[in-house]
Structure 1
């Protein structure tokens, strides 16, 4: 069994065939989906999705690309939504920093607010980090006890180990299937199994053999097999480890 620790099944890219994608995943033994938020205005759509599909769990938050003063103000309702949600809201995010896109000052404000809520509620955080690993590591040290995952990790082994030392796991996705992604492939080959979860980031970040096409949680098996090859280990051993890591990280409901 596998859980996709990061996919955007609520996006319009899946409106035409969402049911079929989920059924296909079930046949491949992909039984759970963590669906993170990008902005508060999409939270109701996510909550509806999770109420329709018991395999779906949610993270609610504000992505650094979507920061605005209005969106940050909407974060004030975050703790209350966790309190009263009838569906599993297991994490905060995705939040983080992106040096290439978005307003840096608002990104930082939104990130710090979400980290403080995570600390208050004792919830894991899903982090987006583009060319900001060192800065994020410094910020995270100011929030002791906050744990989570650096999603779509693409950094070096040394950066990975620094995040692990702070209490974070690494989200390993389709990037490792690209032959020219030498840095993350080298890191993934050496990382301890307890430090990783698997993700597709669907509908984006398609594996190498599916480049140019819409990504799908169904491709999680390709990422699993690639990681097993890089680690030179049995895929079943990898599968058991990443499933246990995902369940532990998110306190995944026992029904899934």
Structure 2
């Protein structure tokens, strides 16, 4: 069985998770801070199944950031290290400096457009604000990781060529995602682990191999064939990160 059909690709994880991935698994490994790209670049050089990102996670947005300098520095890293995508960036209303988060998210979008790169968003209680940014910044394509909203919101993102990262939120029967997944088109869905974060059940840490658990849950809830679903979802991963 080929790499594309053996195991579900992971649309969103972090550097520490690579060691726990399935050997045939394709990974999109996001940055949390811009200089993470140095280690990520080394990891990509040693593993042909890895795509890497560059960006600033909204949890680390600080009022000391100078927007002009930040954009220049981020662009220099893009030119030097040639990341496969922009991110992780985004919005989180549970964290401070939300107005500054918005401005920095816009800068990431501008660079994704300039360099024709996909972009990965962290989004917590900020879906409408992110949609507004995307209305003003027509990014080529992207992913909302750890999506947890209803099908109407999913449709709004799909109109903007944004895929949905499906992970541990799907295992919570009270979540918006669990209640809405049956209405979402498989063409928009990609499995993700967010490893080593967002562990499932009794795990101490998440691993990229959790993607199989989440894929099986998609198949159960949508009553679809697992083998075909792996193929389709891995095609989505390839479309996003190619």
Same topology, TM > 0.5: yes
**For 1:1-256, what aligned pairs fall within 5 Å after superposition?**
1=5, 2-8=8-14, 10-11=15-16, 19=19, 21-22=20-21, 25-26=22-23, 29=24, 31-68=25-62, 69-70=64-65, 73-85=69-81, 89-181=83-175, 183-207=176-200, 210-251=201-242
Task: Report how far residue 219 of structure 1 moved.
Answer: 1.2
Is the 1:62–1:71 Cα contact (8 Å) retained in structure 2? no
1:194-215 deviations in Å (ceiling 9; x for gaps): 11111000111122xx334211
Q: Which runs of 5+ in 1 are unaligned?
A: 252-256
Q: Work out the CA distance in 2 between the residues paired with 1:164 and 1:56.
A: 25
Distance 2:233 2:170 in 1: 16
The 1:124–1:243 alpha-carbon spacing in structure 2 relative to 1, beyond 3 Å, is: same
Cα distance in 1, alignment partners of residues 29 and 40 from structure 2: 8
Greater mean deviation of Cα atoms: 195-204 or 52-61: 52-61
Task: Show structure 2 runs of 5+ residues with no match.
Answer: none
1:92 aligns to what SS in structure 2? Answer: strand
Change (3 A) 1:145 1:126: closer
Q: CA deviation at 1:146?
A: 3.5
Cα deviation digits, residues 205-240 of structure 1 (max 9, x gap):
122xx3342110111110110011111100112111
